[in-house]
Amino acid sequence: MKNEMWKAYARGMAAAMNGGGVVVPAGLLRAYRGVGLSDTEMMLMVQLMMYRQLEGVDFPTPEQLAERLGLMPKAAHQLLSRLMKEELLAIDDEIDSESGMQTERYNWNGFVIRCAEWLADEAKQTFEAERELQQQRSSSSASAQAAQSSDLFSVFEQEFGRPLSPMECETISAWVDQDRYPDELIRFALKEAVFAGKLHFRYIDRILLEWSRNRVTNTEEAKAHTQKFRGGRGS
């Protein structure tokens, strides 16, 4: 009979624990190691919060904390001393407005602020790392684009059989950077100019402009457009 009674008591306690709990900010649980707390010290902080929130006790004794933590009172006292030395925990003196008696209570604002600073620093480092990665990607993209443009210059010089003039280099750069013509389309326009026997930049620019007006975006579409144009002209 007694066993059944205690089992019922245990079930009641389990239901109570599922129904309520101590409010511990998630940031504290995430940052406590970063600010130098051990698991035992963090559990001590949680016990202090539980004493206040659930039991209305603002100043539990080292003996009470030691019992909850499974420590000797001396060890609990040492933990409290270290936390106060690190300014993570403090003791506030208060005067009861009704009785006029002085009371004490633990204050863990220092711990909260230190955790908030650690989380802010972590967020800053993450932001800077992401920004640096983005800059590296942009730099790589710019380098690839520069290499692509440089390769285009070589192709044009090979077809023209001479070095390009500064104005001709600027024209190619404008096709890539301003007009956003794909590399393959510029190369194909060059081939079309060679095929037509009109190897000069003004003719190549007219080809690219014509394709742009007709929403030609790749080599396959350019071939189809060119064949259609030639077919229509031939008829």
pLDDT score, position 231: 57
Across the range 3-25, mean pLDDT stands at 65
Least confident of 45-59, 129-143, 171-185: 129-143
pLDDT score, position 19: 54
Judged against a pLDDT cut of 80, whether residue 181 lies above it is answered with yes
The residue extents of the domains of the chain are 24-131, 164-228
Task: State the residue for tokens 């929130």.
Answer: 53
Task: For domain 164-228, say whether CATH 1.10.10.630 is its number.
Answer: yes
CA dist 65 to 47, 57, 72, 151, 233, Å?
7, 12, 9, 74, 96
The H or E element that residue 110 is part of is helix 109-160
Same fold, 24-131 and 164-228: yes
Q: DSSP label at 32?
A: T
Give the model's confidence band at 18: pLDDT under 50 very low, under 70 low, under 90 confident, else very high.
low
Query: What is the distance between the alpha carbons of residues 62 and 78, in angstroms, rounded to a whole number?
Result: 9
pLDDT score, position 142: 56
Least confident of 7-21, 75-89, 120-134, 146-160: 7-21
Average pLDDT, whole number, for the chain? Answer: 85
pLDDT score, position 23: 85
Judged against a pLDDT cut of 80, whether residue 141 lies above it is answered with no
pLDDT digits (tens, 9 = 90+) for 75-122: 999 999 999 999 999 999 988 777 778 889 999 999 999 999 999 999
Across the range 65-74, mean pLDDT stands at 95
pLDDT score, position 234: 43
* CATH number corresponding to 24-131: 1.10.10.10
Query: What is the distance between the alpha carbons of residues 162 and 27, in angstroms, rounded to a whole number?
Result: 67
The residue among 103 and 43 whose pLDDT is bigger is 43
Across the range 137-149, mean pLDDT stands at 59
Across the range 121-148, mean pLDDT stands at 74
Task: State the residue for tokens 């001396």.
Answer: 74
Give the model's confidence band at 20: pLDDT under 50 very low, under 70 low, under 90 confident, else very high.
low
Task: State the residue for tokens 């192709």.
Answer: 155
Cβ neighbours, 10 Å, residue 184: 13
Cβ–Cβ < 8 Å for 192, 211: no
Give the end-to-end CA distance of the chain in Å, rounded to a whole number: 108
Give the model's confidence band at 16: pLDDT under 50 very low, under 70 low, under 90 confident, else very high.
low
Across the range 151-172, mean pLDDT stands at 89
Nearest CA-CA partner of 62 in 84, 32, 34: 84
Nearest CA-CA partner of 190 in 160, 224, 226, 165: 160
pLDDT score, position 217: 85
Judged against a pLDDT cut of 80, whether residue 230 lies above it is answered with no
CA dist 76 to 4, 110, 157, Å?
36, 19, 82
Please spell the DSSP secondary structure of 158-205, one letter per residue.
Answer: HHHTSPPPHHHHHHHHHHHHTS---HHHHHHHHHHHHHHT--SHHHHH
